[in-house]
Amino acid sequence: MSSLFQIENLRVAYPQARTLESWAVDDVSLTLQPGERIGLVGESGCGKSTLGRAAMRLLPPGSRVEGRVTFNGESVFDFSPEQLRRFRGEAVSLVFQDPMTRLDPLMTIGEHCVETLRAHRPEFSRAVAKERAIATLEAVKIPASRWSQYPHEFSGGMRQRVAIALALLLEPKLIVADEPTTSLDVTVSAQILQELTRLCQERQMALMLISHDLAMVGEYCDRIAVMYQGKMVETGGAIGVLTKPQHPYTQSLLQAALHLQGSTGHKDTLKTEQTPLLRLDQVQQHYTLEQNILSWLLNQSGDRTIKAVDGISLDLYPGEILGLVGESGCGKSTLSRTILQLIRPTAGRVEFLGQDLTTLSRQGLQNQRRQMQMVFQDPHACLNPLMTVGDSIADGLLIHHLATPSEAKSRVEAMLERVGLTPTDSFYHRYPKDLSGGQQQRVAIARALITQPKLLICDEPVSMLDASVQSQVLELMLELKQEFDLTYLFITHDLWVARFLCDRIAVMNAGKIVELGNTEEIFSRPQHPYTQTLLGAAPLLSRLK
């Protein structure tokens, strides 16, 4: 059988590389057959994404590229602009990690789909294009009633489903999926990857799945290729690589992943006789959708209310790590923003340190927010690219008038050392773009801790990191909890991370808490059918035989 896609001795250097030896991808060769699924794994910065972009000629101008890439026997590097336009989308589709880089904020979801189809299939009428688009969106669990909404009205996971639907619209022969389920919960990840697997088999469509999730790659891919420092260090059948890894780097990746999945972390005995640090009482966050004629026709039920948070009552005790898990769009992030009063609840009370935050003035809220800080999913997006690391961390001290500029500098240097960013003088003057994903997240944690808060709300803080860096950051968070006497509300869709870190787990579905209990009880004796579904869908390395 002739190869569908072949990469031969590929080398890539970015324009800013100081020497020609600074190869982001260094002498990599890879072959895909029609219908084959290969997982490309490795730590952040190893060259995985660069390889995928180079193969589709999506590198920045001035990049140095050597080697050969062929598709169906034709050289991709020799394609004319018209051939390249047809190649991207019709032959190969790319699913990015961040769906907002793929979606135009000024276009509705429906417009995205129709424009994509008619750009490549001008013979399609608008009605035919819409019919196919709605069917594709429904395949990734996006109802027709959301056709006229904009990307900002979707959760991160829902936006990723749209990006995957756009990739599937033109029925390509190869999908290059770059961390396509990073922002998705386990049930939706399983649904989408099962759908991709089915399509690969039915249409002889190949899949290059770029991921840091070894268990997921092992479950859905035929082969695994491991990259390290720009080189391909190990390839082989998925089960063989994950059960008998040969290269030391593959062994270390596997060990880090097994450590997370096999450990229950360091649980504290919960002292429920204490006064709760945070108390939620029947908190609601309801939204009413505006409808135009088209959306009204698609959804004539008349129900235009989204119950993002629907009557949640919850106590969080001092020193506790409470995990909040559930699928994308279930209301986890909305609840966290409601707790911080970044959005005011439509009903209910949020008590923190005995005060009802919903009744406080703006100045009163600012005083309380010093005691409540947040660590976001994407550290790069929440760090100002024009501010140095030192200035970003010091900002909270200066805003809350907790230190003079000279005092702030010394406190920032001490915090940098505590989160493992040494030498501190070097990191103090760097910019976010000069740091790896793991280093950026350490900066985000340092910035959150600098005001000495009592509560840290962590919204998917390690979901974008590979297994080895995840393990390092989580261990750091456990150490900091003890040192700074912290309480964590830890939001995640990764059940194994929740099991490793959390004392208790609250399972959220459709805006409600459907199950709450000690971590081990949730994992060993889940009561609610939704919790059972979540646990059944989570990829687990020990299941791979």
Mean pLDDT of all residues in 233-254: 91
CA distance 332 to 285: 11
Higher per-residue pLDDT: 213 or 72 = 72
Q: What is the DSSP string of 250-288?
A: HHHHHHHHHHHHH----PPPP-TTSPPSEEEEEEEEEEE
Model pTM above 0.85: no
Average pLDDT over residues 296-309: 67
pLDDT greater than 70 at residue 267:
no
Whether the Cβ atoms of residue 448 and residue 481 lie closer than 8 Å to each other:
no
Residue 300 has pLDDT above 60, yes or no: no
Q: Which of 138-142, 402-406, 449-453 has the lowest mean pLDDT?
A: 138-142
Average pLDDT over residues 78-96: 88
More confident residue, 447 or 307: 447
- Residue 244 to residue 240: CA distance in whole angstroms: 5
pLDDT of residue 60: 86
Residue 296 in this model has a pLDDT that exceeds 80: no
pLDDT at residue 330 tops 80: yes
pLDDT, residue 269, reads 58
**Among the ranges 164-168, 286-290, 513-517, which has the highest mean pLDDT value?**
513-517
User: For residue 200, what are its two tokens?
Assistant: 């690969």
Average pLDDT, the chain: 86
The candidate with the shortest Cα–Cα distance to 329, out of 454, 453, 509, 528, is 509
510 against 290, higher pLDDT: 510
Q: Rounded to 5 degrees, what angle do the CA atoms 385, 387, 391 make?
A: 145
pLDDT per residue as tens digits for the range 482-519: 999 999 999 988 888 899 899 999 999 989 999 999 99
- Is the predicted pLDDT of residue 361 greater than 70, yes or no? yes
b or e along 203-241 (b: 16 or more beta carbons within 10 Å of the residue's beta carbon)?
eebbbbbbbbbbbbbbbbbbbbbbbbebbbbbbbebeeb
Give me the phi and psi of 233, to 5 degrees please.
-100, -20
Residue 66: its pLDDT value, please? 93
pLDDT at 9 over 90: yes
Cα–Cα dist 4/13, whole Å? 25
Sketch out the chain's domains with CATH numbers: 5-262 (3.40.50.300), 377-450 (no CATH)
Highest mean pLDDT among 193-202, 510-519, 528-537: 510-519
What percent of the chain stands above pLDDT 90? 47
- Residue written as token pair 């009802």: 356
Q: Is the pLDDT of residue 328 over 60?
A: yes
Structure confidence at residue 268 (pLDDT) = 60
For residues 177-181, give the mean pLDDT.
82
Question: Residue 333 has what pLDDT?
Answer: 86
- For residues 434 and 383, what is the distance between their CA atoms, to the nearest angstrom? 12
Q: Which residue has better confidence, 20 or 174? A: 174
Residue 380 structure tokens: 């790069």
User: Rounded mean pLDDT of 346-370?
Assistant: 91
Helices (H), 263-387: 293-298, 332-339, 362-369, 379-382
pLDDT band at 102; cut points 50, 70, 90 = confident
pLDDT at position 183 over 90: no
Band the pLDDT of 452: cuts 50, 70, 90. Answer: very high
